[in-house]
Amino acid sequence: MPRLGIGTWENTDPDECTNAVKTALEMGYRHVDTAQIYGNEAEVGRGIAQADVDRESIFLATKVWIDSLEPEAVRTTTEESLEKLGVDYVDLLYVHWPADTYDPKETLPAFQQLVEDGLTERIGVSNFEPEHLETASSVLGADPFANQVEMHPLLPQAELREAVAEMDTEIVAYSPLARGTVFDVPEITAVADKHDVSEAQVSLAWLREKGVTAIPKATSEDHIADNWASRTLELDADDIEKIDGIDRTDRQVDPDFAPW
């Protein structure tokens, strides 16, 4: 799984979404993330189809929404997602939240069946706390490939990272720029000024230093390119210490059905 991807949450303008995916892929990105609830799988699929990049080179992920986690709905909605995306399979299929119709003993075997049938290559979960991961691993007989959660310098997810360190599960960070809030954090700005880069690049480089994959949403070519440039930014020990020492927590995504 490529360490940096293009996120598409709330990218609902059809042309903008398609162009963002196409631009990112032709710039070098190889990880594209979407979800059923985003309402843009068809536009993401068009971006993939228009890009001069082989499908086999792209790590494509989508997520099954909370009202479709019963076994029959898992299959039906996944097949619909594949049709919208214009692909035969996805590289990673997530349980979007452990909520509503999610039942680990029913939902996860349905995901396993999709792997066996070639509709997805890997099973992921999203917004899972350590106890939910433990249950999922027990039911699957293996650790989920990835757990996608909100993570950024204002929500470092220390407990989750500690739990995952003992598992075969990757962390994927959504909202890695705290929906723009990182631009207003003095510690991050200080590191950005030191390296003559953007706060976005600093936050993405910090996540990479933590061994976390980031999927920042971006629509303009400039922002897509700025995020891509973060791959070459090397933070030193002082930079990491400064960011780790930020005394502020700011969770951006907190629905009523969240498990925390």
Angle between helices 130-140 and 104-116 (to 10 degrees): 50
Closest CA relative to residue 1, chosen from 130, 127, 147 = 147
Check if the beta carbon of residue 123 is closer than 8 Å to that of residue 104: no
Burial (0-12, 13-18, 19+ Cβ within 10 Å), 260 = exposed
The residue from 38, 94, 102, 174 that is catalytic is: 38
Q: Which helix (H) or strand (E) holds 17?
A: helix 14-27
Specify whether 38 is catalytic: yes
| 52 class by beta-carbon count within 10 Å (0-12 exposed, 13-18 middle, 19+ buried) | exposed
Q: Which parts of 165-212 fold into alpha helices (H)?
A: 186-195, 199-209
Please give the backbone phi and psi of residue 164, each rounded to the nearest 5 degrees, phi first. Answer: -70, -25
Q: In what order do the strands lie in the sheet with 59-64?
A: 6-7, 31-33, 59-64, 92-95, 123-126, 146-150, 170-174, 213-214
% helix / strand / coil in the chain, to the nearest 5?
50, 15, 35
Q: Check residue 5 and give left, alpha or beta (phi > 0: left; psi -120 to 50: alpha).
A: beta
Q: Answer yes or no: are the C-beta atoms of 32 and 6 closer than 8 Å.
A: yes
Active site residues: 38
